[in-house]
Structure 1
Amino acid sequence: MSNKRTVPFESIRAAGKRWQRNNRRRFHSLLARLLGTPEARRRPLAPDTRRILVVRLNKRLGNILFLTPMLRSLAATLPEARIDVLIQTPAQAKLLQSLPGIGRIWIQENRLLPMVRTLRAIRAQRYDLTIDPTGNSASNRFGMVLIPARQRMGFARSDQWLPLTHAASKSESRHQALQAVELLTNAISQPPVTTFDTLAVFPDAADQKAADDRWQAALGERPPGAPVIGFFSRATGRKMLPRHWWQAWILEVRRAVPEAILLEILPGADAEPVIPEIAHVAIKPLTELAALMSRLDQFVAADSGPMHLAAASGTPVIGLFRATLPSDYAPLGQDCETVAGDELTPAHVAQRLAERIARRRQAKPRVSGL
């Protein structure tokens, strides 16, 4: 009988990934010592800074929406500049295109030939400034290094291997959207930076019309004064609350706010609603979805892209945090709040929702009968 132990394939693969990560870390550390920017550099921008490229090579909807405060701050600070953005997902382009000051949204495709064509077209723009809005994305850095620019902006770090002309030290905020705004204020000494601290998107008239049609199809004529509460029951990984949690929450909402109308936002037309008889809608164009969300009185969701999209649309949001930290990923919008820890129960969230609806009713100005 053999005493030899077989090594599972998964263990070999995990060891290989660790080896790759360690080698990548050593390589980045070497580049950082030779070329990088370990210390902050707060300097004036060149007076003729007119063409700007922001590089954010990430597919997550929330991470792309986290750009919006910084992009609005850039546009307000440099009103004569054109701001282009390099992203990965075509479906997200129109969200950013709606912002003031935005020029072109470049899409980095995964196929080699289209990627090379896009890179050549970007390099031909001769940007005055390129910006990496995060401090930990190797993809952003590789994109930046391939695109020539007179000025480069990013975060100063011990492993920052990009030579930067403008570099910010570690930001005070943990939230990625606010860190990107702090990057501007901490790396630019002149001109003074005008800042925004909330997410924002601005759907156009066609999106608004499409949202009106979807709203009527899903809800019809609602009773006067009845609040419409939207919710999104999905999320990725451990962030998602179980189906039975949402079913219990619906029962609690019906007790706490019996006049409310519920509308579930589904991730796709083939997704199964939490409770089939509740109104539900699946909308693929993100700007159209944002336009519909702006009509809601409240929105409830776990930490997810739709949660951030609702905040960006101006809708009051309750964000539910099971596996991530509100300090890092809270919805940034008007009248948004988070629930986490022991308070993350269906009854407590429903009660918070009822209190918010009551406060908003009291805050609405009364119409004079005279």
Structure 2
Amino acid sequence: MAHRNTINATGFKGWIKRLRRGNRQRFNRLLTRVFGTVEPRRRPFASDTRRILVVRLNKRLGNILFLTPMLRSLAASLPAATIDVLIQDARQKPLLEGLPGIGQVWVQEKSLRATFGLLRRLRSIRYDLAIDPSGNSTSNRLALALARTQQRMGFAARDQWLPLTHAAPRPDSRHQALQSVELLQSSVTDFDWKTFNTLAVFPCAPSHKLAQRHWQTAFAGQARATTTTVGFFTRATGRKQFDESWWREFVTRFRKRLPAARLIQIRAPDQPEPIAADIASVTIAELDVLAALLGRLHAFVAADSGPMHLAAAAGVPVVGLFKATAPASYAPLGQGCISLEGAALDPSAAVDAVAERARQSSAFVA
């Protein structure tokens, strides 16, 4: 009986979720017919475009890092502009603050009172351009609707209820990071864009100093080496994760293939011990410090996850393992990065790919 009740509850919750989603879609389409932007609108920028707001209200680390090619493109193409960003997770704020052209990184707090306070601060600023780089976020659209701006940029769609001055068609690229760059190119005329197609973060000097301490602690007791150092991260969400036996085999094969190299495991906060007692490991909560530490590696291997993208953004050659998601949409974007899927998802093949990345890498070695 309890089992049947669980099934019924799950089914009812699923039905409610589908009903809410359907009602939201119908409401969006109704608003779109009255106010929205169904067809692309490609227009020149206003000549006084100097203050820009980019909205990405999503907590996933990868999605925030996917902003970096667009943010760098804006800064390089509009060097006199100040770019503010609105996000949801305060831990990600330092990653964006180090990018060129960034002014204020606003964080949407959880409490209603804090949200209204943030809205008042945002409304006190007159933006020249506000951008929604995602084509399917109601929160992003609401933020753009409430911002004081003369130009709004986003993707045209049959459920795009927000009136946009600059609207791009459905992007050609499947990769989430490159779609936002296409948004710039496809919605503005008479403008020469300087674009970027890789992720990037630039940790500050204090972040590098803290990373150095973590590095020294992780390798304490080991002789100071100038050998190859490879990092790995064993966690991922849902079906993207590989089991511990896969990673144990990876470690075994790695040591046979690269006996002079050393490994360091990046542990999740709820992962108290490394998968092997003699492997150096580290847990770092501060994402900018973690990025600084990752930047010291010769190579990094992980399933599709936030740390995988952070390593690519830190300039590390990454081997991304894709079991349940598509590399076309979520591949690590960086020099020397590669994605493995299908039959290549074998520990031996992963070690071969890591060895090649590490051989080519000129990463800093402590």
Q: Please tell me the TM-score bracket, short chain as reference.
A: over 0.9
1:67 maps to a residue whose letter is: L
Alignment match, 1:366 = none
The 1:206–1:223 alpha-carbon spacing in structure 2 relative to 1, beyond 3 Å, is closer
Change in 2 beyond 3 A, CA 1:64/1:360: closer
Structure-2 residue corresponding to 1:22: 22
Separation in 2 of the partners of 1:360 and 1:206? 25
Q: Give the partner amino acid of 2:87.
A: I
Cα distance, 1:263 vs. partner? 0.1
After TM superposition, give the deviation of residue 357 of structure 1 in Å. 3.1
Instruction: Give the 4+ runs in structure 1 shifted more than 4 A.
Output: 220-225
Q: SS of 1:177's equivalent?
A: helix
Distance in structure 2 (CA, Å) of the matches to 1:90 and 1:152: 25
Q: Which residue of 1 aligns with 2:313?
A: 312
1:340-359 mapped onto 2 (5 Å cutoff): 340-359=341-360
CA distance in 2, matches of 1:341, 1:271: 31
Identity, % of aligned positions: 54
Q: Tell me the equivalent position of 1:66.
A: 66
Q: Residues 164 and 114 of structure 1: is their aligned pair in 2 closer, same or farther, counting only changes over 3 Å?
A: same
Does 2:161 match 1:183?
no
Counterpart of 2:232? 231
* Aligned residue identity for 2:232: F
Map 1:331-342; keep pairs closer than 5 Å. 331-342=332-343
The 1:276/1:355 distance shift into structure 2, 3 A limit, reads same
Q: In structure 2, what is the equivalent of residue 252 of structure 1?
A: 253
Q: 1:360 to 1:292 in 2, by over 3 A?
A: closer
**Which residue number in structure 2 is paired with residue 107 of structure 1?**
107
CA contact (8 A) 1:269 1:282 kept: no
Deviations, residues 286-315 of structure 1 (Å, cap 9, x unaligned): 111111100000000000000000000001
* Secondary structure of the corresponding residue to residue 150 of structure 1: coil
Q: 1:222 to 1:78 in 2, by over 3 A?
A: farther
Q: CA deviation at 1:276?
A: 2.5
Q: 1:359 to 1:101 in 2, by over 3 A?
A: closer
After TM superposition, list the pairs within 5 Å mapping 1:138-177 onto structure 2: 138-177=138-177
Aligned length: 358
Letter of the 1:306 counterpart: P
Q: Give me the whole-angstrom Cα distance separating, in 1, the residues matched to 2:216 and 2:54.
A: 38
Match of residue 33 from structure 2: 33
- Equivalents in 1 of 2:290, 2:101: separation in Å? 23
Structure 1: tracts of 5 or more residues without a match: 362-370
Q: Give the CA deviation at 1:148.
A: 2.4
Aligned twin of 2:263:
262
- Residue 329 of structure 1 corresponds to 330
The corresponding residue for 2:46 is 46
C-alpha distance in 1 between matches for 2:274 and 2:313: 24
- Deviation of 1:270 (Å): 4.9
| Higher mean displacement: 125-134 or 270-279 | 270-279
CA distance in 2, matches of 1:254, 1:174: 36
Per the TM alignment, residue 358 of structure 1 is displaced from its structure 2 partner at its CA by: 3.7
Q: Distance in 2 between matches of 1:284 and 1:332?
A: 23
Aligned twin of 2:125: 125
C-alpha distance in structure 1 between counterparts of 2:93 and 2:360, whole Å: 36
Whether 1:289 and 2:284 are equivalent positions in the alignment is no
Structure 1 residues 117, 72: closer, same or farther in 2, change over 3 A? Answer: same
CA displacement 1:257-277 (0-9 Å, x = unmatched): 111100000112753321122
Distance in 2, Cα, partners of 1:312 & 1:301: 14
Structure 2 counterpart of 1:264, one-letter code: Q
- CA displacement at 1:40 relative to structure 2: 1.0
Deviation at 1:222, TM superposition (A): 5.0
8 Å CA contact 2:125–2:148 kept in 1: the answer is: no
Question: Aligned partners of 2:232, 2:67: CA distance in 1, in Å?
Answer: 24
Partners of 1:269 and 1:57 lie apart in 2 by: 25
State which drifts further: 273-282 or 175-184.
273-282
- Provide the rounded CA distance (Å) in 1 between the counterparts of 2:78 and 2:356: 41
* Structure 2 portions without partners, runs of 5+: none
Give the drift of 1:226.
1.6
SS at match of 1:43: coil
> What is the CA-CA distance between 1:10 and the residue it aligns to?
1.9
Q: Is the Cα contact below 8 Å between 2:171 and 2:179 reproduced in 1? A: yes
Matched, 1:75 2:75: yes
